[in-house]
A = this chain, B = another copy of it.
Amino acid sequence: MKKELVKRESQEEDTIIKIDGEVIIGDNKLMMIAGPCSVESEEQVMEIAKQVKASGAKFLRGGAFKPRTSPYDFQGLKEEGLKLLQKAKEKTGLKIVSEIVSIDDIELFDKYVDVIQIGARNMQNFDLLKKVGKLNKPIILKRGLCATIKEWLMAAEYILNEGNKNVILCERGIRTYETATRNTLDLSSIPVIKKLSHLPIIVDPSHAAGQKYLIEPLSKAAIAVGCDGLIIEVHNHPEKALSDGEQSITPKMYEDLCQNIKPIAKVMNKKL
């Protein structure tokens, strides 16, 4: 059988990912991504972008095409949303992370976005994986809600197998019986992945926890367990957010979080 490209056996040293020659993740560099669940308006995205940049984020996240449980929920601003993210990039210098949900949008994302996210629901949308595997952009591959670690790595393999080696895994919680949190953040997956694979891995405490007060302690734990970055939902008015308001922290909370994880990042020999 072919040796899987995602495995340590295929590549001993950790993957380091660069954009325009600059390391964005790996080599002790923490990838800090923050921003709203959905892009809602120019004012919203600009304000949040400036604030998370001031706190230390290097990437702005924002959903333009939203995969929602019900067809009647807000589905995102679509291309208009991507253009607003582009504007925010021009103003702040933050690089852009956004989720793709259809192969029809590949060109749009290639144009507007620096790092393409594949969401949990599409982790085994193999058609989409193969298409982004032909691009030259970094891909964040979120773990499916009930994906095993092995299935997750094999999903990444679909991307690497097409030629794109710039895959960043993202642990975002798995579905269990526990209802005190939205999902159960599986922090054990980070050292397990580190053992099996050379790919970098970040953590999304926002979707896992589903509640604001859990974001900072889980972020600290994620850094301490050895992750390579954090993707966090930040909204300037969480109570008015069109999606995921419950779990979105304020820019002020994000500022505190960045300050409070620094000493742990230092202990772990990681740079923000």
Bitwise, A118-146 to B at CB < 8 A (1) or not (0) is 00011011110000000000000000011
B225 touches A217 (CB 8 A): yes
Query: Inside 8 A of A115's CB, which chain B residues have their CB?
Result: none
Q: In the complex, which of the residues B71, B102, B213, B223 contacts A103, with contact meaning CB atoms closer than 8 Å? A: B102
Q: Is A233 an interface residue (CB 8 A)?
A: no
Given contacts A127-B102, A174-B178, contact A72 B2 (CB under 8 A): yes
A16 beta carbon closer than 8 Å to chain B: no
| A161 lies within 8 A of chain B by Cβ | yes
A191 touches B178 (CB 8 A): no
Interface residue count on the A side (C-beta < 8 Å): 63
Q: Contacts of A222 on B, CB cut-off 8 Å?
A: 221
Give complex CA distance A221, B223 in Å: 8
A25-33, A44-52, A182-190 - interface stretch: A182-190
A112 at the interface (CB under 8 A from B): no
Could you name 23 residue pairs across A and B whose Cβ atoms are closer than 8 Å?
A: A4-B70, A4-B72, A69-B151, A70-B154, A72-B161, A101-B126, A102-B103, A104-B127, A146-B146, A146-B175, A174-B184, A181-B188, A184-B188, A185-B188, A188-B214, A191-B213, A217-B225, A218-B225, A220-B224, A221-B222, A221-B225, A224-B264, A267-B267
Cross-interface CB contact of A148 among B125, B179, B187, B221, cutoff 8 Å: B179
A180 touches B192 (CB 8 A): yes
Question: In the complex, what residues of B have CB within 8 A of residue A184's CB?
Answer: 174, 176, 184, 186, 188
